């Protein structure tokens, strides 16, 4: 039987790492006994904290599918765009997808596959429901992973991406994980403030996603913080690094989104074509700085606005 790796996106976040672990566990108990979790990037500090809580190992690191055996299969979690996936993904067969992002039309297959994409708060929400549908109960460790993905993506059910399904699933998995969701959320976000102590490189690259719109490239980095106290003092060095990234990556627009999880609002630094920056719909503070009140979701609020701004170049 060929190998099957369950893979989250590049610059993985907690939903991508924990979703890969949970989906591999689910698939190994159901249709793919050989399913194994994998990752194509470093484990962020907060995700490492979750794995420690759950008593789980980090998934296997695969940076290029060429390093896998011939005929390997992949399941994608928390993404469906090749530019956000592991290097070489276009050369392997994809047999399963669980995601909650826009469709970019990359995944083409020779046989029918299971492709579950729903506009819910996290990939882990969908995976938890798969256990329910199958009449299976996730272990305490896997339930902890599922909680972490759901809580981190929805900012404990407060993000505008939160749906009734998220609100219905969380109490079930929190009970199985034996966690208090408030305390868990507090513990999770208390770990490793990138705004306080991260290098500019870490701030920009820990959670950054690339997109293409009308053949133009954009990139959106995001960090989540409890309060934005250090922002003013760090803005200049972060903006310098963002400008360099924008030039090196040939982006039409590059954004750094610093989200305050206490307020569910964001400060947004922009680099790129001024015509595009001028079209951003957020409250403008100066030439390159914006404030988004109630703006905290990249997929639902920031990317659509950024894509519309980039479309003004077409």
The tokens for 198 are 């991260």
String marking each residue 255-274 x if it binds Mn ion according to CB under 5 A:
--------------------
| 123 vs 193, beta carbon nearer Mn ion | 123
Nearest to Mn ion of 161, 266 (CB atom): 161
242 vs 183: CA distance, rounded Å: 34
Nearest position to Mn ion, beta carbon: 15
Which residue, 169 or 276, has its beta carbon nearer to Mn ion?
169
CA dihedral 216, 296, 154, 133 (to 10 degrees): -30
**Residue with Cβ nearer Mn ion (15 or 260):** 15
Q: In Å, what is the CA distance from 267 to each residue of 155, 191, 259, 260? A: 17, 21, 7, 8
The region of 116-124, 138-146, 184-192, 284-292 touching Mn ion under the rule CB under 5 A is 116-124
CB atoms inside a 10 Å sphere around CB 298: 23
CB of 149 to Mn ion, least distance (A): 7
The answer to whether 224 contacts Mn ion (rule: CB under 5 A) is no
Could you say which of 5, 10, 15, 224 contacts Mn ion (CB under 5 A)?
A: 15
CB of 275 to Mn ion, least distance (A): 31
Torsion angle of alpha carbons 69, 73, 79, 84, nearest 10°? 30
Backbone angles phi, psi at 273, to 5 degrees: -65, 130
The least distance separating Mn ion from the CB of residue 79, rounded to whole angstroms, comes to 8
Count CB atoms within 10 A of the CB of residue 161. Answer: 21
Task: Count the site residues for Mn ion by CB under 5 A.
Answer: 4
**C-beta separation of 241 from 201 below 8 A:** yes
Q: Within the chain, where are the H helices? A: 14-29, 45-54, 123-134, 140-154, 164-177, 181-190, 194-197, 200-205, 231-248, 274-278, 303-311
What is the C-alpha separation between 302 and 7, in angstroms, rounded? 25
Residue 241 interacts with Mn ion (CB under 5 A): yes or no: no
**Nearer Cβ to Mn ion, position 78 or 225?**
78
User: Among the candidate windows 10-18, 58-66, 106-114, 140-148, which touches Mn ion by CB under 5 A?
Assistant: 10-18
- Rounded to a whole number of angstroms, the distance between the first and last alpha carbons of the chain is 48
Should residue 99 be labelled a site residue for Mn ion when binding is judged by CB under 5 A?
no
Q: How far is the CB of 99 from Mn ion (least distance, A)?
A: 8
Write the interaction track for Mn ion spanning residues 39-78; mark x where CB under 5 A is met and - where it is not: ---------------------------------------x
Instruction: Kindly report the backbone phi and psi dihedral angles of residue 211, in degrees, each rounded to the nearest multiple of 5, phi listed first.
Output: -140, 160
Q: Any contact of residue 81 with Mn ion (CB under 5 A)? A: no
String marking each residue 137-176 x if it binds Mn ion according to CB under 5 A: ----------------x-----------------------
User: Where do contacts with Mn ion occur on this chain (CB under 5 A)?
Assistant: 15, 78, 123, 153
């Amino acid at each position: 039987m060929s190998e099957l790796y369950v893979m989250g996106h590049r610059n993985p976040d907690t939903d991508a790492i924990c979703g890969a672990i949970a989906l591999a566990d689910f698939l190994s108990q159901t249709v793919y006994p050989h399913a194994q979790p994998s990752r194509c990037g470093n484990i962020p500090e907060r995700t490492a904290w979750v794995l420690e809580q759950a008593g789980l190992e980090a998934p296997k690191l695969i940076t290029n599918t060429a390093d896998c055996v011939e005929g390997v299969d992949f399941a994608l979690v928390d993404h469906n765009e090749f530019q956000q996936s592991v290097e070489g993904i276009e050369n392997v067969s994809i047999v399963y997808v669980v995601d909650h992002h826009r469709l970019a039309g990359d995944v083409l297959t020779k046989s029918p596959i299971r492709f579950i994409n729903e506009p819910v708060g996290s990939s882990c929400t969908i995976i938890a429901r798969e256990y329910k549908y199958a009449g299976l109960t996730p272990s305490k460790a896997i339930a902890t992973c599922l909680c972490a993905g759901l809580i981190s993506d929805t900012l404990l059910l407060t993000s505008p991406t939160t749906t009734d399904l998220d609100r219905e699933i969380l109490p079930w998995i929190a009970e199985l994980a034996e966690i208090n969701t408030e305390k868990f959320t507090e513990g999770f976000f208390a770990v490793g403030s990138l705004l306080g102590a991260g290098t500019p490189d870490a701030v920009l690259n820990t959670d950054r996603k690339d997109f293409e719109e009308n053949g133009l490239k954009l990139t959106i980095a995001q960090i989540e913080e409890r309060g934005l106290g250090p922002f003013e003092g760090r803005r200049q060095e972060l903006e310098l690094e963002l400008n360099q990234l924008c030039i090196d990556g040939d982006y039409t627009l590059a954004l750094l989104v610093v989200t305050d999880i206490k307020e569910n609002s964001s400060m947004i630094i922009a680099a790129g074509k001024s015509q595009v920056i001028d079209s951003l719909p957020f409250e403008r503070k100066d030439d390159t700085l914006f404030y988004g009140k109630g703006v905290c979701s990249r997929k639902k609020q920031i990317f659509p606005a950024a894509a519309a701004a980039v479309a003004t170049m077409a």
